[in-house]
Structure 1
Amino acid sequence: MFTLQIEHGIKDFAMWRGAYDADPLGRTASGVVAERVSRPVDDKHYVVLDLDFATAAEAQDFLDRLRAQVWSTPSASPALAGGPRTRIVEQAFRA
């Protein structure tokens, strides 16, 4: 299992949630098999996402598409405050 981890500041959670729910890249069709959205308890203007994929290639492709089609245009991502931090991790074991 490979997880695309995304962290970024947001201006407004409701606005961000609306954009996330609109799913412009089609998460399921792109290979996302599970997803988790978290918010730090001390910062309501920040989100942390974990998107799980079967392969690293699917995770990388989705990240590349996010960068090119969503994050590169402020009108496509109006709720973001600053640039995201991302990484792709591989599950080492399940406890």
Structure 2
Amino acid sequence: MTTVFVRHEVSDYAAWRKVYDAFRSVQAANGVIAEAVFQSADNPNDITVTHEFATPEAAKTFMQLEELRSAMRTGGIVGAPTVWVVERT
């Protein structure tokens, strides 16, 4: 199991969440098995999301989708996200 963590700030959580929720069908069609969204207790626009995949290759393919980049721009991401990939052992 491969999990991708992405932390980023958004300009408006409610607007970002609408874009994120509308993207679920793309996630499912591209190997996302499970996902979760977390907000910082101190800043509701500081978001961490997790996406789980069956393989590292599936995660890499998903992260390279132009549709994903477009959704992130539309969702109001501020600055560059911090991304890390882990394997469950």
Query: TM over 0.5, yes or no?
Result: yes
The code of the aligned residue for 2:53 comes to F
Q: CA deviation at 1:25?
A: 6.9
User: Does residue 47 of structure 2 align to residue 50 of structure 1?
Assistant: no
Q: What per-residue deviation string (whole Å, max 9, x for no partner) do you get for residues 39-85 of structure 1?
A: 110111111011000000000111111xx4443x5994242111111
Separation (CA, whole Å) in 2 of partners of 1:78 and 1:64: 17
Which has more radius of gyration? 1
Q: Give 1 or 2: higher helix fraction.
A: 2
**Structure 2 counterpart SS, 1:7:** strand
Q: Given that residues 5 and 51 in structure 1 are in contact (C-alpha distance below 8 angstroms), is that contact kept between their aligned partners in structure 2? A: yes
The code of the aligned residue for 2:44 comes to K
Q: Given that residues 36 and 50 in structure 2 are in contact (C-alpha distance below 8 angstroms), is that contact kept between their aligned partners in structure 1? A: yes
CA RMSD, Structure 1 to Structure 2 (Å): 2.1
**Structure 2 counterpart SS, 1:27:** helix
User: Does residue 68 of structure 2 align to residue 90 of structure 1?
Assistant: no
- Unaligned ranges ≥5, structure 1: none
Closer, same or farther: CA 48–69 of 1 in aligned 2, 3 Å: same
Closer, same or farther: CA 24–37 of 1 in aligned 2, 3 Å: closer
